[in-house]
Amino acid sequence: MTLEDLREAQQGLAGIAVRTPLVDIPELAALAGVPVYLKLESRQPTGAFKLRGAWTALRRLPPEQRARGVITYSSGNHGQALAYAAQRMGVRAVIVMPETATRAKVEGVKRWAGEVVLAGTTSEQRYEKAAALARSDGLTVIPPFDHRDVIAGQATVGLEIVEQLPDVAEVATPVGGGGLAAGIALALGAVRPSARLTTVEPEGSAALAAALKAGKPVRLERTHSVADGLLPLSVGALNFAILKNVARPALVSESAIVEATRWLYYEKGLVVEPSGAVTAAAVRSRVFRPRGPTVLVVSGGNIDPATIEGLVPLPV
């Protein structure tokens, strides 16, 4: 993908995705010894960065495919984003979600007229159900991360970061399937190649770290984390191809994720889901030690305050 391709995605998001702010966080800067900013993708209309990729992929579909409707498999945020985009375009959207999906994310999909289908607990089970429904109903599958146009849409986060902070030296981003990280990697490579990319995963769900160690995507036997948006059993193949030579992995514990989620809420007044809090957790637990002006991507905020108040680390 060229810079022109990423710029086209950025232009196509005008009036749809919000240009989310960078927020200076002095407490994190004091810990890191460098300026630290949060990129609040939690302030997107659907509560997460996923809107960028979902809209771009749907917009770029041939009109005849789009008219037949779309389907995806998602723990919640991509599903909400695709439902929102589809409603804006007058398109049917079916969202296959895990049986363990949070109420906030299920209601979020329904808010945008998405048709919710619950299937299993793993990304593979959701994928199998979505593939079957796509065949039976003539729907086009829009994957949550391993897709060229989805990655191009997510790359606009990286373009914005460099526009907002031209001297950025470090960007840290959460990683599930790798679409956001791959997009940011492409953007940084095109407009700020000196910036380093740190990819943050829960210790119990480190598919990218495992792939980097093996030199290829590998399937984890299980994933386990309070960060429910970061639980794919494998990183996407296309995403890995982009990330394999640039990603610097960092793993955070369950206790660090919960601590950061609660700290962001009680001390900074920010409603951030655990998946979005992992970058702050990496700084607060000192597993990520940046060397210059740093942006921590807060990927989503689809969690209700009552859940944050009762949040505890999952047992290992």
Residues annotated as catalytic (active site), given as ranges? 50, 299
The whole-angstrom separation of Cα 259 and Cα 249 is 20
Rounded alpha-carbon distances, angstroms, from residue 188 to 35, 111, 158, 191, 192: 19, 34, 6, 5, 5
Alpha carbons 17 and 10: distance in angstroms, whole number: 9
> Residue 39 to residues 43, 81, 191, 270, 287: CA-CA distances in angstroms?
9, 18, 18, 12, 19
Q: How many CB atoms lie within 10 A of CB 194?
A: 9
Q: Determine the 3-state secondary structure of 143 from DSSP.
A: coil
Question: According to DSSP H, which parts of the chain are helical?
Answer: 3-12, 26-32, 50-59, 63-68, 77-89, 103-111, 123-137, 148-164, 179-191, 207-214, 237-243, 254-266, 274-284, 305-309
